């Protein structure tokens, strides 16, 4: 089984070739091929490579499928004894990527 741990937008994600993932917004158009160079860990056929902090010669090749928005998160704040209540909502901008392969 081949997989890698990459750093995308401050989050670490375990990725496998042939699967798609939703990550924080990446500035690229749908259909663009992007490569992630911040690979922290890689496993290929039982051989492990651990970066300190990143692996230099290994990168992950992905294609941008589309941009979307995540689920709504509701923020409700109450200040006691002040009769102050605020309710807000937030939807995170996301990018759906398809992992093509992990290159050495």
- Cα separation, 82 vs 94, whole angstroms: 37
pTM for the structure as a whole? 0.85
Section 1-16 average pLDDT: 94
- Bond from prior residue into 55 cis (ω within 30 degrees of 0): no
- Cα separation, 24 vs 14, whole angstroms: 15
State pLDDT tens for residues 20-45.
999 999 999 999 999 999 999 999 98
User: Sorting pLDDT into bands at 50, 70 and 90, what band is 69?
Assistant: very high
Give Cβ neighbours of residue 28 (< 8 Å, ≥ 6 apart).
Answer: 34, 64, 95
Residue-range domain boundaries for the chain: 3-103
User: Sorting pLDDT into bands at 50, 70 and 90, what band is 1?
Assistant: confident
pLDDT attached to residue 104 = 80
């Amino acid at each position: 089984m081949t997989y890698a741990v990459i750093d995308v937008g401050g989050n670490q994600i375990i990725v496998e070739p042939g699967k798609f993932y939703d990550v924080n917004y990446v500035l690229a158009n749908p259909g663009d091929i992007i490569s992630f160079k911040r690979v922290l860990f890689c496993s290929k056929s039982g051989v492990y490579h651990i970066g300190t902090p990143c692996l230099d010669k290994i990168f992950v090749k992905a294609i941008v499928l589309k941009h979307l928005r995540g689920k709504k998160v509701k923020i409700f704040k109450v200040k006691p004894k002040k009769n102050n209540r605020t309710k807000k909502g937030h939807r995170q901008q996301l990018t759906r990527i398809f992992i093509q392969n992990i290159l050495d």
